[in-house]
Each structure stands twice: as structure tokens, then as C-alpha cells.
Amino acid sequence: MSEEISIIGLGLMGAALAGSLLDAGHRVTVWNRSADKAEPLVARGATRAATVAEAVAASPLVIVCVLDYPAVYELLADTPLTGRVVANLTTGRPVEARQAAEWVAARGGDYVDGGIMAVPQMIGRPGALVLYSGSQAAFDRFEEAFRAMAEPRFVGTDPGLAPLLDLAMLTGMYGQIAGFLEAVALVDSAGYPLTEFTSTLLVPWLNAMAAAQPEWVKSVESRDYTTLVSNLEINRSGLENLVRAFREQQVKPDLLLPLKAIVDQRTARGHGAEGLPGLVEELR
Ligand SMILES: NC(=O)c1ccc[n+]([C@@H]2O[C@H](COP(=O)([O-])OP(=O)(O)OC[C@H]3O[C@@H](n4cnc5c(N)ncnc54)[C@H](OP(=O)(O)O)[C@@H]3O)[C@@H](O)[C@H]2O)c1
């Protein structure tokens, strides 16, 4: 079904979102602070709104994708939102999303927050995912339109959940990047071919480890950190060894040191016989 959809914010991401909606046959109205960014989309069939108010008035679904939440408030401050669904796909924090939901509701609108798990080049293609939270009714009403941009996944009615899960996924990614780069620096110090190391050894190893990790959360859920895999004392000694090896190879272990500090702390507090998932207790 063809929907009327307005998009506010035509940066790299907003333009990709608008393009995917046009490709799917929706009637798209666009607005951007720097007006020239609307031109390629107008050439593809979008309607240009002269003001934010005109963009909001044009469609029951208003997608906003700008730099940050202060910019969202700045843009929508003087515009009534009665009868509108605001889908805010701007990256933010859970607290910001909850405040934005209240702010939009106070202006008569319904709110869904979205966490985009994709880069602009992935939008409209298989593999792109957007997490949504907030108004279930608003999500259900526009789920098929959202599907044109990326697989839509509704994660809950707390508006803060989509950004929280988005940030959690980025956290996992940064941890993996830290381990990957430390490993590459260590191997590079020995002059071993890096492509050979990463493609035939490191990545298969990381994939195998990642595949086992959903089992770990059972310990966190039950708060029972008994392990038959490897206990913290063994990991403490392993990390000690790693850090020494790094220094002997003249490579800084700086991205590993925060993990080592938490393992040392947990072990010193008498939990050396438990498994690695118990480190979550030190983070509470
Ligand atoms: N790019 C990605 O890979 C990616 C992935 C996931 C999520 N996101 C999120 O998507 C959002 C947009 O990112 P992007 O990559 O499209 O960034 P971008 O290319 O830098 O575009 C930023 C957009 O925000 C607008 N903007 C900034 N400050 C504004 C203000 N005070 N008032 C009005 N408009 C303002 C810009 O308008 P002008 O054109 O006038 O400057 C532009 O439309 C961000 O929240 C980002 O975190 C991006």
C-alpha cells in the first residue's frame, strides 16, 4: 500500500531512507536544512516542502533523521503534531527517547523511536535492520512502510528500548574491534602476513567464540556463575601472560587492560573459581 510519508533530514542516512521509500512507491515529501540536498530526491519523484511545518502537514507519518535530539526539538518546536506519527530515527540515548516520546505526546502526536543497525548503503537491501520502540499502534500502522527501508523489529513499548539495544549492539561491536585490533598489532609485530592471520585464523576463531556466547547469559540470568569451561583464575593468569607477551613484543596492550583490571578485581574478591560471565556482577 502506498503511504504518504514525510522525511525531515536528508543527510547521508535520511537521503538513503527517502530513496528507499520512493523506490517502494510511497509518496514522499522531503525537507532538509540545506535545501540543495532535496534536489536528487525531487528528481526521483519526491515533493519538496518549503518548511518543516509544511512537511509535517503533508503526511501522517513523519520520519526524522538528523544529527541529534536537540536538533529534533529545534526543528519541531513550533509545529503541531496532532494526528501525526513521529518516527525518530536519529541516534540517541534511552533517556532522550523517553523524553522525546512525552514531548511529542504533549503536542498531540504518537511516537516511535528507531535505532538504525545499518549504514546508508545497506538501506532498502537485505541485511539492514531498524529496531523500533514506543507506540505499538503507530508501529503496527506503518510496519509495511518501515519495511521498505530495512527489516523493522519492534522491541517494546518503552521508547528507550530501541536506543538501548542499539547502544548495546554497538558496545559488543566495539569490544570485538578492540580485541581484533590488539590481535592484529601483536601479529604485525612478528611480521606474519595479516590477511592470512585474520582470514584463516582470527575471524573463524571469533565466529566460533561468538556462537557459544548466547549460552553465557543463562549464568547471568540465574546469577549462578559455576563453570565447567574456564574459571576466572585461569583467565586472570592468561591475561597476565598476554600482557607480558605484548610488552615483550613492544606492543601496547592498552585495549585489553580494562578487561584485565575487572578480572583481577573479581578474582581478588574471591570469585576465582567462577566463570567469565560473573564479570557482569562487577559492572552492576
Ligand atoms: N550514517 C550512518 O551510517 C548512520 C547509521 C546509523 C544511524 N545514523 C544516524 O542517523 C542520523 C543522521 O546521520 P547521517 O549519517 O545522515 O549524518 P549527516 O550526513 O551528517 O547528516 C546530518 C543531518 O542532520 C541535519 N542537521 C544537523 N544539525 C541540524 C540542526 N541543528 N537543524 C536541522 N538539521 C540539522 C543536517 O542538515 P544539513 O544537511 O543542513 O547539514 C543533515 O540533514 C544520526 O543520528 C546518525 O547517528 C547514521
pLDDT in tens, 257-277: 999 999 999 999 999 999 999
Instruction: List the domain boundaries for the chain.
Output: 4-157, 190-283
31 Cα: distance to centroid of ligand 1 (angstroms): 13
Closest atom, ligand 1, to C-alpha of 10: 43
Mean pLDDT of 118-139: 98
Architecture of the domain spanning 190-283: Orthogonal Bundle (1.10)
H or E stretch including 5? strand 4-8
67 Cα: distance to centroid of ligand 1 (angstroms): 4
**With pLDDT > 70 as the criterion, what percentage of the chain qualifies?**
100
Q: What is the pTM of this model?
A: 0.93
Give the position of cell 540470568.
Answer: 221
Which superfamily, per CATH, for 4-157? Answer: NAD(P)-binding Rossmann-like Domain (3.40.50.720)
Mean pLDDT of the chain: 97
37 close to ligand 1 (CB < 6 Angstrom): yes
229: pLDDT confidence band, cut at 50, 70 and 90? confident
91 close to ligand 1 (CB < 6 Angstrom): yes
Give the position of cell 541485511.
Answer: 127
List the beta bridge partners of residue 113.
88, 133
pLDDT above 90: residue 51: yes
212 Cα: distance to centroid of ligand 1 (angstroms): 36
Closest atom, ligand 1, to C-alpha of 16: 16
Q: Is 30 exposed, middle or buried (0-12, 13-18, 19+ CB in 10 A)?
A: buried
Give the position of cell 559488543.
Answer: 172
Measured CA angle at 46 (ends 44, 49), to 5 deg: 145
225 Cα: distance to centroid of ligand 1 (angstroms): 43
**Alpha helices by DSSP H, the chain:** 12-23, 39-43, 52-58, 69-76, 94-106, 136-149, 161-189, 194-197, 203-212, 216-222, 232-248, 257-266, 279-283
Closest atom, ligand 1, to C-alpha of 34: 40
Q: Output the residue whose Cα is nearest ligand 1's atom 25.
A: 66
